[in-house]
A = this chain, B = another copy of it.
Amino acid sequence: MNNIKEFFKTSSERVETFLESYITNSSLFTSGLNEGMRYSLFAGGKRLRPALVYASYSLFKDDYDYVTPFAAAIEVIHTYSLIHDDLPAMDNDDMRRGKPSNHKAFGEAEAILAGDALLTKAFEIMSDTSYSPQMPVDIRLKAIYKLARAAGDKGMVGGQFADITSEGRKPTIELVDYIHKNKTSALIECAIYLGAVAAEAKENEIDNLIAFGKYTGLAFQVVDDILDITSTSEVLGKNVQKDIESNKATYPAVYSLEGAKQKADEYINKALYHLDIFGERADILRDIASFITERNS
């Protein structure tokens, strides 16, 4: 797994270098906004989604800088979603990645606006042709459309809506499936898509990679649910056992802890199946899938 650690590290570095220079401030009236955006962007996340963009891209090409705007944009979307999810009206989380959550550090209105600004920024980055100017415009447009679909009311936001509005009610399998598919898996699937479409992969290849992304995303969220029960707040850098307290719709809640672990394995196996056509060159994606199921934070 040294290989995978190295891959995550270089992925992070590429994306952080890009964001470091891209997320600038131009007015003294918005320095607090810029500070809030950067606070959450550079809070030491795992950069899983960018790593997936690069990993997917690596099956076809190796000029990684070319796809960096896409990797950065999806991380920016992910970051906005964490800021808004943590808000008092939503999950009301005081801690994130071992630090005060954005609204705790900057105030609630400021956190809402930092989230809005980041969400908008993702589409600015995606449509900014001064980066990777040689990218065909139709590829860029397809990527923007997919990202908007994955992040919106029929993707991530829809999943979060279903999640918060179902709290306190007895969760069903249908509900848990809907939440996991949309709240988490949609964006992970999109990350895989972005790498593949930037590399101009064939339709059949893209279809298999999307399926890999979908099941990997589901496995990721099941493991997240399991860790909320079995891990500690020191390891996770956020409060634990909140899901049970608020009667959240999770896999362990509908399948039991043991059933959830089996479900995670099932999803990973389905994910790996869709990599078969790529042979050894998909090893980095296999390693990331293992990393996701075996992680402890």
What separation, in Å, do the CA atoms of A116 and B160 have in the docked complex? 11
Chain B residues near A278 (CB-CB < 8 A): none
Is A161 located at the chain interface by the 8 A CB criterion?
A: yes
Is the Cβ of A29 less than 8 Å from the Cβ of B87?
Answer: no
Task: Please give the number of chain A residues whose Cβ is less than 8 angstroms from any Cβ of chain B in the complex.
Answer: 55
Q: Please measure, in the bound complex, the distance between the C-alpha atom of A108 and the C-alpha atom of B88, giving whole angstroms.
A: 9
A276 CB-CB contact with B under 8 Å:
no
Copies, count: 2
Chain-B contact segment, one of A43-51, A137-145, A253-261: A137-145
Which residue of B has the minimal Cβ distance to A92?
A: B109
- In the bound assembly, the distance between CA atoms of A153 and B124 in angstroms comes to 11
CB-CB contacts of A94-134 with B at 8 A, as 1s and 0s? Answer: 00000000000001111011011101110110111100000
Residues of chain B within 8 A of A115, CB atoms compared: 116
Do B166 and A29 touch (CB < 8 A)? yes
A154-B29 in contact (CB<8A): no
Nearest 6 A/B pairs, CB to CB: A124-B148, A89-B108, A29-B162, A120-B152, A117-B153, A127-B145
Given A120-B152, A127-B145; 17 other pairs, CB 8 A cutoff = A29-B165, A30-B153, A30-B162, A32-B161, A33-B153, A84-B112, A87-B112, A115-B116, A116-B157, A117-B157, A117-B158, A126-B144, A127-B141, A137-B137, A137-B141, A140-B141, A144-B144
